[in-house]
Structure formats: structure tokens, C-alpha cells
Amino acid sequence: MPGKHRPDAIARGGPRSRVVRVATTAPLTRAAEARLRAPRTRGAFRPIDAARRQLGLLQVADAGGQAAVSWLIDLEQGRVADARFLAFGSRWSHPIADAFTQLARGMTVSEACAIRPATVEGMLRDEPGAAACPESELAFIPDLQARALAALPAVKLLPKPVEKQVYQRKRQQEWSETDKTWLPLSLLKKIKTVDDAVKRVLADKAPAASHRIEGLHDDFRVVCIVSGISDSEKQTLGLFVNSGLKTIHPDLTAELS
């Protein structure tokens, strides 16, 4: 009918058709592709990593969401003792962040934050005279550097953690009567015994709750996932569960989460 658009008008370039612009990214060089596939410094450090090595932990991400760097800092020397990155932006963000992080290792923070983007770009070239990528792909590097410098004064040395002793089972000649009953059981039988005990407690104290034995560690440490009750109720229930486990072996303990 006149005045109405035909259903195939869009397909034929009719009045409803429009051009959709798709953002494009410069193709990766071979050097960049190699870093994308096998990055040398990808990862992140945790506070426990810094505490164990007695180094400061500096972590910043750029405002555009391209990448984040994780540096372990020797605070006495102000030096980047180790460095890692995580990238989540364009395809170029991965090799660029990898190359930048590799350069930063061993430098002082000031030196790392003075690395020129062009130096990073040069590491990703296939040919010396041919630029690897547009300058826009490197724009997040100065942002990371500025944020790292700003964050440095707040980086502190965390207390060295007390390392947990490795569990060692008693020698058989030192076993108590309850040890002789419990320790020879297979892991599956131990978990089944614990699971039955937890079921009895929940049926009595928290019928609406459900549970799953996540693991049994070091013969006596039970990890139990409980759902259907509040956190405060879990704390109370934990007392009853631990009390029930003591009837199996006095050293059994449960961690409810």
C-alpha cells in the first residue's frame, strides 16, 4: 500500500536502513601476537605474597579499564622487585601491558613510571621502521604510571605471616583408642561418618538448613558448606556440629561457611 514501508525495505536499502559503524583495532604484529598467546608477566600478587616476601604491594588500574599492574616493592630502595599485569581491554592491551611490566621489573618505581610508551611500542615491532600500533593503544600506560606514583606513599610493609605447621600424623605406636578406630578409615569412610553426624545435628537443630561436606583435611579438619540459615545461626550451629563430631573423635573440628 502507498505510504507503508515494505517488510524487505531494510534488506534492500530502503528508508529504514542504516549504516552501523564497527570499531576496528589495528592488527597485532607477530611480536605482539606472541605475547598475547604466551605472556611473560601475566598475573597478580596477593597481600599474603607481599607479606611472605616482606615487600610492599602496589596495585593500580587505568581509568579506561585496559589493564592493571601488580608490583612488589622493595620499600627501602623504592624498587620494583617483581611485577605482573592483568589486561581486560583491547587485544593490544595484553601485549602492551606485558612488555611494560617486563621493563618495570628491577627498576625503581620512579624509573618504571618514566618508561616512554614509545619504548614499549618498540618491543612489539616486527620491523624497526614500522610502528607496531597506533599511539592511542598506548595511552593507558601514562595513566598507570601516574596512578602508581600517586599510590606509592600509601604502600606499607605487611607483617610477616606465621606459617602454618605442616600436619604430621602420629606414629602408630602413639595412637589412642579413638585414633585406632578413626585413622585407619579410608577418606571416603571418614567423610561418610562425618556427613552422617552433621545430618543428625541439622535434623535436630536446623531442619531448614542443607549442607555439603566440602572436604576433610589433615584427618580431623572438616569443611562444611551450610545454606538456608543466616550467618549468626551458622555460628550457633557450628557449636552443635563440633560437639557432635567430638563423639566420633575428640580432635575433629568443623568449619562452617
Evaluate if residue 213 carries a pLDDT over 60. Answer: yes
Backbone angles phi, psi at 220, to 5 degrees: -130, -10
Domains and CATH numbers, the chain: 30-154 (3.90.1010.10), 172-256 (3.30.300)
Evaluate if residue 53 carries a pLDDT over 60. Answer: yes
**Given this model, what pLDDT does residue 13 score?**
46
Task: Please give the grid coordinates belonging to residue 219.
Answer: 584427618
SS3 assignment for 208-224: CCEEEEEEEECCCEEEE
pLDDT > 70 in the chain, percent = 90
First to last CA, the chain: 67
User: How sure is the predictor about 11, in pLDDT bands with cuts at 50, 70 and 90?
Assistant: very low
User: How sure is the predictor about 246, in pLDDT bands with cuts at 50, 70 and 90?
Assistant: very high
Q: CB of 108 within 8 A of CB of 78? A: yes
**Given this model, what pLDDT does residue 24 score?**
54
The 10s digit of each residue's pLDDT in 134-165 is 999 999 999 999 999 999 999 999 998 877 77
Evaluate if residue 7 carries a pLDDT over 60. Answer: no
The Cα 172–Cα 177 span in angstroms is: 11
Q: CB of 241 within 8 A of CB of 252? A: no
| Mean pLDDT computed over 25-53 | 94
Element at 87 (helix H, strand E): strand 79-87
**Sheet hosting strand 221-227, strand order edge to edge:** 210-217, 221-227, 253-256
The 10s digit of each residue's pLDDT in 117-130 is 999 999 999 999 99
Taking alpha carbons only, the member of 52, 55, 51 closest to residue 71 is 55
Q: CB of 96 within 8 A of CB of 141? A: yes
| Mean pLDDT computed over 78-90 | 95
The 10s digit of each residue's pLDDT in 94-125 is 999 999 999 999 999 999 999 999 999 999 99
For 230, how many CA atoms within 13 A lie in the half-sphere containing its CB? 2
The Cα 233–Cα 244 span in angstroms is: 17
**Given this model, what pLDDT does residue 234 score?**
85
The 10s digit of each residue's pLDDT in 178-206 is 999 999 999 999 999 999 999 999 999 88
Evaluate if residue 19 carries a pLDDT over 60. Answer: no
| Mean pLDDT computed over 243-251 | 92
Evaluate if residue 3 carries a pLDDT over 80. Answer: no
Evaluate if residue 5 carries a pLDDT over 80. Answer: no
Question: Residue 50 burial by CB count (10 A; 0-12/13-18/19+): exposed, middle or buried?
Answer: buried
- The mean of the pLDDT values for the chain is 89
Task: Please give the grid coordinates belonging to residue 225.
Answer: 558448606
**Given this model, what pLDDT does residue 165 score?**
75
The Cα 212–Cα 235 span in angstroms is: 16
